[in-house]
Structure 1
Amino acid sequence: MAQVSIRDDEVDIVIAALHPDLTSFMEEWRPFFSRFHLIVVKDPDLKEDLKIPEGFSVDIYTKTDIDRVVGSSSKTIVFSGYACRYFGYLMSRKKYIVSFDDDCIPAKDNKGDLTNAVAQHIANLTTPATPYFFNTLYDPFRKGADFVRGYPFSLRSGVQCALSCGLWLNLADYDAPTQALKPELKNSRYVDAILTVPAGALLPVSGINIAFDRELVGPALLPTFRLAKEGKLRWETVEDVWSGMCVKVICDHLGHGVKSGLPYVWRNERGNAVESLKKEWEGVKLMEEVVPFFQSVKFSKAAVTAGDCVVELAAAVKERLGAVDPVFARAADGMVEWMKLWKVAA
């Protein structure tokens, strides 16, 4: 099946800006960003003015914009740090969103050529996913691949892909304990593969390098899970891991697919794993409660949209996890507020 052709005006690129000077970042990405509209969301805690080179179609959102849109919901939803990317998701009106953090630049493939992460994300989203039967040659819709012997023909049409999870070179997404114990551990393997995550399987989604179909699952990408000692660095937040589990169980219920693998980006150094461990350890422990919950969550037949599922999921979180730790009750309240914001934005 061929990739579906999309128009440039169907895509927004969302950038979480945690540093004031985006000049180098934007220039690195210019060959791949210049044809699309960009949404840059400035971390509301960042005091300096943003520096963005000319030649891009870009909307910039700041703390003033966030306060105006969010209003009283700011008590339960905080767009600080990496979570500022979600405000861009909220403000977009495009079908497809591609999102990168500002410490990532285009990666090079095994031949030394720069990879077009935007185009690869779009290819992932516009070709079917195959969550109900694993293809041992990975994505059968890639050029040079197909379904393997024994793959049921009744499942070969696949389902619509709603989420594309890219990877990165240099700094892999290890947790703080792993990175602290193995400080020299880097990811230097460019694996030229894409796979569909099987239905029923969870994965720790990272918001660093993702794309999604906003019309299908936009409300399920949500900034509502915050650790009590949450910080600004990659080891000190788990809001994207929580969001990823939400969107995966919702995709499974609605019959959409999730892909992981290409595209890669190159991620630069930031943070100290040993210091961050003090903040992230809370999240490491909470995952032992989170995973069994998501493995057992069920939605009603009345939940036919991602928004419906978020509402039901919030109620389940409140009921089953609210007494375990206050962070879960706050997350449930935030999910309810997020849906109110999403409905207004829509």
Structure 2
Amino acid sequence: MSLNIEDNEVDIVIAALRSDLTAFMEKWRPFFSRFHLIIIKDPDVEEDLQIPPGFDHQVFTKSDMAQILGATSINFTGHSCRYFGYLVSHKKYIISIDDDCLPARDNAGTLVDAVAQHIVNLKTPATPFFFNTLYDPFCKGADFVRGYPFSLRNGVECVLSCGLWLNIADYDAPTQVVKPNDRNVRYVDAVMTVPVRALMPVSGINFGFNRELLGPALLPGLRLAGEGKERWETMEDIWCGLCTKVVCDHLGLGVKSGLPYVWRGDGVDVRGAMDSLKREWEGVKLMEEIVPFFQSVRLPSTAVTAEDCVIEMAAMVKEQLGPLNPVFASAADAMVEWVKLWKAVGSQGA
């Protein structure tokens, strides 16, 4: 299998939550310069974006969203603006990296090309049906261990590559409050396939995916709480990841986690963690209802595409979770609306 892809097969989607992207773009120039960039300006950012020259890029603003989408109940502010980039791309692969991430260094001190590693993950098979104790058997220097069934060694297509972070650990708000000084300093040189029926948190801060096969399943569904005035921050990504993993399992597609790393931000202080906790707490509590639901979801054989799976899942969400909290009924509606947007906008691309 060739690991090479054409430059025009990849879009890099950047969620711009700040106006000055100069330092971010310059740090990533060696790895971004050969690809097309889709930069989504958070609608809450008022200043013009500062982008250095020399990049092939498109910028989408709040007015662009309104012109392309028309009336929609889906909120693309904050981190959710990145989902708009997934919608308007027309490339086979998308690499998503937020503007508070910089290239990390490996254990030898070499800068990590996160884009290239995501592409390697997506271009080599995944092995979700039998765990290989040497992790990814397709990595250089690895192979299948004794006892691994030969009938499963071809693997399946990998459609989602979940990268990790150095510096800021990927903690939820309650853990940040009690461990405000914790930092992730361990660079683990490993990639693994997430087993079938195993759920996982997913973050759009640093990941890559096959847009053609999985795109419609990456959706900002669980977005609002109460009357829609409070953001649930990371809960929207977690909901998206649970939906996506169920879709991958049903369609027989693979998900990998591990490399590549990025260097994330400057840390979180106690005050910031407390603010996040206030915003996220209602969503954190509902995880105890959400996870068992997704663990139990079994989609019908008639669902043969990501769009089919999302529509089927939306009906289950409304029926089983809707009575527990109105936010789930809204999430089900958003899932259906997303598929409609995907058919109207996403199938065309920008």
| Residues 16 and 41, structure 2, Cα contact 8 Å, conserved in 1 | yes
Residues 227 and 282 in structure 1, CA contact (< 8 A), matched pair in contact too: no
What does residue 3 of structure 2 align with?
A: 4
Cα deviations by residue, 1:239-263 (Å, 9 ceiling, x for unpaired):
1100000010000000000000000
SS at match of 2:216: helix
Equivalent residue, structure 1, for 2:89: 92
Which residue number in structure 1 is paired with residue 69 of structure 2?
70
Work out whether residues 231 and 237 of structure 1, in 8 Å CA contact, stay in contact via their aligned partners in 2: no
Q: Secondary structure at 2:183's aligned position in 1?
A: coil
C-alpha separation in 2, matches of 1:41 and 1:61: 5
CA distance in 1, matches of 2:230, 2:157: 34
Does residue 334 of structure 2 align to residue 334 of structure 1?
Answer: yes
Q: Which runs of 5 or more structure 1 residues have no equivalent in the other structure?
A: none
Paired letter, 2:207: I
Residue of structure 1 in register with 2:287 after alignment: 287
**TM-score, length basis structure 2:** 0.95
CA distance in 2, matches of 1:216, 1:170: 32
- In structure 2, the partner of 1:312 is 312
Name the structure 1 match of 2:198: 201
How many percent of aligned residue pairs carry the same amino acid? 68
- State the Cα deviation string for residues 4-27 of structure 1 (Å, max 9, x = none): 321010000000000000000000
> Conserved in 2, the CA contact under 8 Å of 1:81 and 1:232?
no
The match for 2:273 is: 273
Alignment RMSD, CA only? 1.4
Give the whole-Å Cα distance in 2 for the aligned partners of 1:275 and 1:236: 11
Partner of 1:150: 147
1:122 equivalent in structure 2? 119
1:270–1:81 distance in 2 versus 1, CA, 3 Å? farther
Q: The residue matched to 2:171 in structure 1 has which SS?
A: coil
How far apart are residue 232 of structure 1 and its match? 9.4
Partner of 1:46: 45
Q: Structure 2: give runs of 5+ residues left out of the alignment.
A: none
Name the residue aligned to 2:259: 262
The number of residue pairs the alignment matches comes to 342
Q: d(CA) in 2 for partners of 1:327 and 1:316?
A: 14
Over residues 177-221 of structure 1, what are the superposed CA-to-partner deviations in whole Å (9 max), with x where a residue is unaligned? 101101111100000000000000000101110100001100000
Against the structure 1 CA distance between its residues 47 and 110, is the aligned structure 2 distance closer, same or farther, given a 3 Å change threshold?
same
Alpha-carbon distance between aligned partners in 2 of 1:269 and 1:157, rounded to the nearest angstrom: 42
Amino acid at match of 2:15: A
Is the 1:168–1:266 contact (alpha carbons within 8 Å) kept by the matching residues of 2?
yes
CA contact (8 A) 2:167 2:264 kept: yes
Q: Following TM superposition, by how much is the alpha carbon of 1:269 offset from its aligned partner in structure 2, in angstroms?
A: 2.8
Cα distance in 2 for partners of 1:3, 1:180 equals: 46
Tell me the distance in 1 between the aligned counterparts of 2:278 and 2:301.
Answer: 42
Q: How does 1:213-224 map to 2 (within 5 A)?
A: 213-224=210-221
How far apart are the structure 2 equivalents of 1:3 and 1:43?
Answer: 37
Contact 1:120 1:262 in 2 (8 A): yes
Name the CA distance, whole Å, in 1 between partners of 2:66 and 2:321: 30
Q: How far 1:236 moved relative to its partner?
A: 3.1
Q: Secondary structure at the match of 1:45?
A: coil
Letter in 1 for 2:330: R
1:113-143 Cα distance to aligned partner (Å, 9 max, x none): 1000000000000000000000000000000
Partner of 1:26: 25
SS for the counterpart of 2:225 is coil
Distance 2:234 2:266 in 1: 16
CA distance in 1, matches of 2:34, 2:224: 38
Q: Distance in 2 between matches of 1:227 and 1:287?
A: 15
TM-superposed CA distance for 1:227, in Å, is 3.8
Query: Residue 192 of structure 2 contacts residue 258 of structure 2 at CA under 8 Å; is this kept in 1?
Result: yes
Structure 1, residues 9-66: CA drift from partner, whole Å, max 9, x if none?
0000000000000000000000000000000000011111000000000010000111
Distance, in Å, in 1 between the alignment partners of 2:162 and 2:178 is: 26
**Among 163, 166, 169, which residue is 1:169 paired with?**
166
